[in-house]
């Protein structure tokens, strides 16, 4: 079996460190392992429009912002096919056929969709739920199956979409009696603290709409300010520190390595040692934030610098995206052709439709 990696992001803003530890870093790992036949990264503009119908310009502007973030983190255009979702006509067509395999009730039971409906105020009777929005898990199944992708590096909140995709794949293969579509599995971050990185204000997930993000492209001074703004429980230095819901420590869990300690905090060998010392008392939160700032600055510096290089050659960036999109159109059309054949709606692809009718009426 082939290994096809596919993933996507909605172009609603620049990518932040929540995206980075939740999925982007895993993509780099998969890319470097090199154990795949095709690696597709899609900019999901059509999905972004399902809850942004009235701001198309925002989506359009962020296509290149996201693309720059991809290149900045080190995704390599020689190894990866980058494409724009709305440019691939096979996707809405596949979506339309898959819609017959899923009930409305099943769509609205999707836990991620449920949470988002509340967040976006679609549960208000006057606003209502856009049909396209409720349907996006099916369109995401089209994104994945159009490439027969089996390896999907995503954040943990995407698991319900992959479950929906697997259900569609199984229904399709059962009903149309061909093993055309492929079941996919998620690749989640190796470290659980990366599943749902909280925002700098604590509590909720890092999210652009809340304004609690550290962006991959933030300048050093901005990063420092945001890290300093992380709240901490007031206490005197001698008192024991509390680790529960401690945003600075959650970020350290996601970013600090033993090397970070060698470089910036050599009193301790690793994070476990620091945690023990912190809970005994004697370490102030200012010290922790200073260390955290050093760690995050180190991680984001090369990313920001690479972004600046690509910003200088934006025409090349657009060319990469265009070439990838053209290739993705071809790949997805091939799957669509197989799907239509399995569904017996490939009327003029060969003579079988004509011959069947001639036989019947002669």
Q: Is the CB of 144 or the CB of 303 nearer to ligand TRP?
A: 144
Q: Which residue is nearest to ligand TRP (CB)?
A: 8
CB 84 within 8 A of CB 38: no
DSSP letter string over 24-86? IHHHHHHHHH---SEEEEEE-HHHHHTT-TT-HHHHHHHHHHHHHHHHHHT--TTT-EEEEGG
DSSP letter string over 185-247? EEE--SSGGGTTPBPTTSSSBP-TTTT---BTT--HHHHHHHHHT-------TTSPP--TT-H
Name the one residue in this structure whose structure tokens are 């809405």: 92
Q: What are residue 145's phi and psi, to 5 degrees?
A: -75, -25
DSSP letter string over 118-173? HHTTTTSTTT---HHHHTHHHHHHHHHHTTT--EEE--GGGHHHHHHHHHHHHHHH
> Is residue 110 involved in binding ligand TRP (CB under 6 A)?
no
Of 59, 68, 101, 144, the one binding ligand TRP by CB under 6 A: 144
Q: Is the CB of 230 or the CB of 254 nearer to ligand TRP?
A: 254
> Is residue 24 involved in binding ligand TRP (CB under 6 A)?
no
Of 152, 168, 181, 342, the one binding ligand TRP by CB under 6 A: 152
Number of residues located near ligand TRP, criterion CB under 6 A: 14
Taking the C-alpha atoms of residue 206 and residue 198, their distance in angstroms, rounded to an integer, is 5
Which tokens hold the place of 21? 């530890």
> Is residue 12 involved in binding ligand TRP (CB under 6 A)?
no
Q: Is the CB of 47 or the CB of 200 nearer to ligand TRP?
A: 47
> Considering only 1-9, 199-207, 267-275, 344-352, which stretch makes contact with ligand TRP by CB under 6 A?
1-9
Site string for ligand TRP, 35-74 (x = CB under 6 A): ---------x--x---------------------------
- Helix (H) / strand (E) element for 290: namely helix 285-311
Taking the C-alpha atoms of residue 228 and residue 194, their distance in angstroms, rounded to an integer, is 21
Q: Is the CB of 68 or the CB of 146 nearer to ligand TRP?
A: 146
Taking the C-alpha atoms of residue 182 and residue 214, their distance in angstroms, rounded to an integer, is 36
> Is residue 8 involved in binding ligand TRP (CB under 6 A)?
yes
Please report how close the Cβ of residue 41 comes to ligand TRP at its closest, in angstroms: 10
> Considering only 151-159, 237-245, 285-293, 317-325, which stretch makes contact with ligand TRP by CB under 6 A?
151-159
Which tokens hold the place of 323? 């070439």
Q: Is the CB of 44 or the CB of 83 nearer to ligand TRP?
A: 44
Of 52, 86, 135, 140, the one binding ligand TRP by CB under 6 A: 140
Q: Is the CB of 27 or the CB of 307 nearer to ligand TRP?
A: 27
Contacts to ligand TRP by CB under 6 A: 6-10, 44, 47, 140, 143-144, 152, 154, 158, 161
């Amino acid at each position: 079996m082939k290994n096809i990696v596919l993933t996507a992001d909605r172009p609603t803003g620049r990518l932040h460190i929540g995206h980075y530890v939740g999925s982007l870093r895993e993509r780099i790992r998969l890319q470097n392992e090199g154990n795949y036949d095709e690696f597709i990264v899609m900019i999901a503009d059509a999905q972004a429009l399902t809850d942004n119908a009235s701001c198309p310009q925002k989506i359009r502007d962020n296509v290149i912002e996201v693309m720059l973030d991809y290149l900045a983190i080190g995704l390599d255009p020689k190894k990866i096919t980058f494409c724009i979702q709305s440019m691939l006509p096979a996707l809405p067509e596949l979506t339309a056929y898959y819609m017959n395999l899923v009930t409305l009730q099943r769509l609205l039971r999707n836990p991620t969709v449920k949470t988002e409906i509340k967040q976006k105020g679609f549960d208000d009777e006057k606003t209502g739920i856009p049909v396209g929005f409720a349907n996006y898990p099916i369109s995401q199944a089209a994104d994945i199956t159009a490439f027969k992708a089996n390896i999907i590096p995503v954040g943990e909140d995407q698991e319900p979409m992959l479950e929906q995709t697997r259900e569609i794949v199984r229904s399709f293969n059962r009903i149309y009696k061909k093993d055309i579509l492929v079941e996919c599995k998620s690749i989640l971050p190796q470290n659980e603290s990366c599943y749902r990185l909280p925002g700098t204000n604590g509590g909720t997930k890092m999210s652009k709409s809340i304004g609690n993000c550290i962006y991959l492209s933030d300048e050093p001074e901005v990063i420092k300010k945001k890290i300093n703004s992380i709240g901490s429980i007031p206490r005197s230095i001698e008192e024991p520190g509390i680790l529960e819901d401690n945003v600075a420590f959650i970020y350290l869990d996601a970013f600090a390595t033993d090397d970070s300690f060698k470089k910036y905090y050599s009193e301790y060998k690793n994070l476990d040692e620091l945690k023990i010392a912190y809970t005994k008392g004697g370490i102030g939160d200012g010290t922790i934030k200073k260390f955290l700032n050093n760690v995050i600055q180190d991680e984001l510096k090369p990313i920001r610098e690479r972004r600046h290089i690509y910003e200088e050659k934006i025409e090349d960036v657009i060319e990469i995206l265009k070439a990838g999109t053209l290739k993705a159109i071809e790949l997805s059309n091939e799957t669509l052709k197989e799907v239509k054949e399995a569904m017996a709606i490939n009327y003029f692809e060969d003579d079988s439709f004509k011959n069947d009718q001639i036989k019947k009426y002669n």
